Structure 1
Amino acid sequence: MDNHGQGRDGQRVVYTVLDTDIGPLMPAATPAGLVSVVFHAAGTVRERALDRLASSLGSHPVEAPDHALLAEATRQLEAYFAGGRRAFELPLDWSLISGFNRQVLRELASGVPFGTVVGYGDLADRVGRPGAAQAVGMAMGANPLPVIVPCHRVVESDGGIGGFGGGLETKRKLLTLEGVLPQPLF
């Protein structure tokens, strides 16, 4: 690995940080597509995330907000937070996730549209693993592409909001944005 964003097989990893209604988000990309989105990406959170990406991808990410894919991701995320986008159309690099977790996240990305939710158990059923609700919860926690792959749309079957790696307040804001939860009264 070197310090210029070149990793294994010359792979370049780039990132940017954008301010959103849920705090700073840090999308990162490889030549294959968007590979990571990090919540609360300021200070030590951002630095730890960059170190994890460097370790996982063999390349220390380089800040490149004008990179074509990151610029498009920024446009789409800004439109989503402004209420003008319901789905993302970005190439995704799934290399940070594999096996069952990848299967669950792919189903989530393609099968749970804007403004809807699914239970952990229901998502387990969809991927042919009835009774694996807890494993689905673990897959949500391992999601490297939150918001884009909408793990915030997975809730408890009893109506509870469930957990969320970005924090429950962030999950509430995302579900409110999508019309699943009502706007707060104050």
Structure 2
Amino acid sequence: MFTIDYHSPIGVIEISGTEKAVYSILFSEKKLPENVIDEYTPDVLVTCFKQLEEYFNGKRHDFSFPMEMEGTPFQTKVWNALASIPYAATGSYKDIANNIGNEKAVRAVGSANGRNKLCIVVPCHRIIGANGTLTGYAGGLWRKEWLLSHEQKSKITIPSGQYTVK
């Protein structure tokens, strides 16, 4: 497993993976990056780093590098539903539960959301309360607020009616 650090506007992000796929993108409490790209860094991690940089510069709205989600079948279903929330849009735990065909699993969806190891790319920051308020975020509510605001500022025009999770 290899790890590199990306110094984002909202703190250091650790990117970990193998030569074949990215396994985690997580916020760190490091003040400065410690793991830098070198000649041994796999291309997939370098690609992830560059795509995160484009995202933070407002030039990328989705990601195309290989990634692996490690979790239960239920968690994977939730994470795939999260990934279907469009850039700059939001949804709720209830929306995700309905999306996966298990409308009573709202709490379980929240738990799976909290175990997402591919932050930003699997956009758990786009989940808000059913009443429109910000809900918990493993990276901190201030980061969630920043990410949502960033996406609103740099979004492309999307036809109306395409902002809800179906």
Aligned to 1:19: 7
Q: CA deviation at 1:41?
A: 4.5
Q: Give % identity.
A: 31
What TM-score comes out, normalization by structure 1 length?
0.75
SS of the aligned residue for 1:178 comes to helix
Larger helix proportion of the pair: 1
| Pairing of 1:1-186 with structure 2 (within 5 A) | 13-42=1-30, 65=37, 66-94=41-69, 96-109=70-83, 111-179=84-152
Question: Where does the alignment leave 5 or more consecutive residues of structure 2 unmatched?
Answer: 154-166
> Quick one: which amino acid aligns to residue 65 of structure 2?
L
C-alpha distance in 2 between matches for 1:19 and 1:144: 18
In structure 2, distance between residues paired with 1:31 and 1:149 = 20
Shift, 1:132, TM fit = 1.3
Q: CA deviation at 1:88?
A: 0.8
Number of residues paired by the alignment? 149
State whether residues 17 and 23 of structure 2, in contact with CA within 8 Å, keep that contact through their aligned partners in structure 1.
yes
- Structure 1 residues 2-51: Cα deviation after superposition (integer angstroms, max 9, x where no partner): xxxxxxxxxxx1110110011000011124411001102427xx9xxxxx
Tell me if the contact between 1:26 and 1:41 (Cα under 8 Å) persists in the aligned partners: no
The answer to whether the Cα contact below 8 Å between 1:124 and 1:132 also exists between their aligned partners in 2 is: yes
The TM-score, its normalising length taken from structure 2, stands at 0.84
**Which consecutive segments of 4 or more residues in structure 1 shift more than 3 A?**
none
Contact 1:27 1:70 in 2 (8 A): yes
Q: Shift of the alpha carbon at 1:98? A: 1.8
For 1:163 and 1:90, the matched residues in 2 are separated by 27
User: Contact conserved, 1:30 with 1:93, CA < 8 A, in 2?
Assistant: no
The residue matched to 2:77 in structure 1 has which SS?
helix
Larger Rg: 1
CA distance in 2, matches of 1:40, 1:31: 22
After superposition, what is the alpha-carbon deviation per residue over 1:67-92, rounded to whole angstroms, capped at 9, x for unaligned? 21111111100010011111111111
Q: Any stretches of 5+ residues in structure 1 without a counterpart? A: 1-12, 47-62, 181-186
CA–CA distance in structure 2, aligned partners of residues 97 and 32 of structure 1: 18
